[in-house]
Structure 1
Amino acid sequence: MARADQTEIPMRIVIEQPVPGVFHSLQSGDDKILDPKRSTAGEPLAFDFPVRIAPGPKFFGDQVRREGPERRFVYIRIGQSAGDCLSPWTRRMKIDIHDIPQDLLDRAAKGDGVVELTVNGTGKDGTPACATVRPVGRRIA
C-alpha cells in the first residue's frame, strides 16, 4: 500500500510495575534494540513511536510486526534481549495493536493525542512478563 494512503499516528506503550533494574526496549525492524531503559524502583516505563495506519485498519511502521493476514503487534525486548548482557532473562513481550478500537485510531489521526496502551510488566511469578501480554488499558493521552 502506498504511503500516500497511510496516516501516521503517535503511539505509546506504558509498562506498569516493571521488575526493577531490568532493561526493556522497543524492537525496531527484525532485531534492533531501540530506546533501552530500566525502572529503578518499579516506576512505569513509556515507549513512544509512530505507526502508520491505512483503511481496514492496516498497520505499518518500523516497530510493527505481523503474524498471519490480520494480527499486528509490537515487541518489547527484555533483559539480554534489550542489551543487558548480565540479565538472567532473555525475553520479549508481544503486544497486539490490530485490535485497537477504531475510535481511538480516528482520534489520534485527527491530532487529539497519543494512542496509549498500558500493560503489566511483572508476571504472576514475579519475573518480567513475556509472551503475549494483553493491555490493561487503552486510551488517548
Structure 2
Amino acid sequence: MARADQTEIRMRIVIDNPVPGVLHSLQTGDTGVLDPKRSKAGEPLTFDFPVRIAPGPKFFGDQIRREGPTRRFVYIRIGQSAGDHASEWSRRMKIDIHDTPQALLDRAMAGKGVVELTVDGTGKDGSPACATVKVTGRRIA
C-alpha cells in the first residue's frame, strides 16, 4: 500500500504496575531495542511511537509486528531481552493493536490526541507479565 494512503498517528503503551527494577523497552524491527526504561515502584512506564494507518484499518511502522492476515501487535522487551544481561528475566509482552476501536483511530488521525493502550505489567505470579497481555484500557490522551 502506498504511503500516500496512510496517515501517521502517535500511539502510547502504558504499563501499569510493572515489577520494580526491571528494564523494559519497545522492540523495533525484528530484534532491536528502543527507548529502554527501568521500572520504579508505583510508577507506570510509557512508550510512545509512530504508527501509520491505512483504510481497513491496516497498521504499519517499525514497531508493528504481524501474525496472519489481520493480527497486528507491538512487543515490549523485558529484562535480558531489553538489554539488561544481569536480569533474571528474558521475555516479551505481546500487545495487540489491531482491535483498537475505529473511533479512537479516527480521533488520532484528526490530530485530536494520542491513542493510549494500558496493560498490567505484573503477572499473576508476581513476575513481569509476558506473552499476550490483555489491554485493560483504551483512550485518547
What's the CA shift for 1:38? 1.1
SS at match of 2:81: helix
* Rounded Cα–Cα distance in structure 1 between residues aligned with 2:98 and 2:40: 31
* Rounded Cα–Cα distance in structure 1 between residues aligned with 2:129 and 2:92: 8
The corresponding residue for 1:51 is 51
What's the CA shift for 1:40? 2.1
The corresponding residue for 1:105 is 105
Which letter maps to 1:8? E
Structure 2: gaps (5+ residues): none
Does residue 132 of structure 1 match 2:132?
Answer: yes
* Rounded Cα–Cα distance in structure 2 between residues aligned with 1:42 and 1:98: 29
Q: Deviations over 1:72-95 (max 9, x none)?
A: 000000000000000000000000
What's the CA shift for 1:29? 0.4
Does residue 76 of structure 1 match 2:76?
Answer: yes
Say if 1:74 and 1:94, in contact at 8 Å, map to a contact too.
Answer: yes
SS at match of 1:74: strand
Q: Deviations over 1:58-78 (max 9, x none)?
A: 000000000000000000000
* Rounded Cα–Cα distance in structure 2 between residues aligned with 1:132 and 1:39: 20
* Rounded Cα–Cα distance in structure 1 between residues aligned with 2:32 and 2:43: 25
* Rounded Cα–Cα distance in structure 2 between residues aligned with 1:81 and 1:42: 23
Q: Deviations over 1:80-138 (max 9, x none)?
A: 00000000000000000000000000000001100000000000000000000011000
Which letter maps to 2:120? N
Say if 1:19 and 1:42, in contact at 8 Å, map to a contact too.
Answer: no
Does residue 36 of structure 1 match 2:36?
Answer: yes
- What's the % identity of the aligned pairs? 82
Moved over 4 A (4+): none
* Rounded Cα–Cα distance in structure 2 between residues aligned with 1:60 and 1:41: 33
TM-score w.r.t. the length of structure 1 is 0.99
SS at match of 1:136: strand
TM-score w.r.t. the length of structure 2 is 0.99
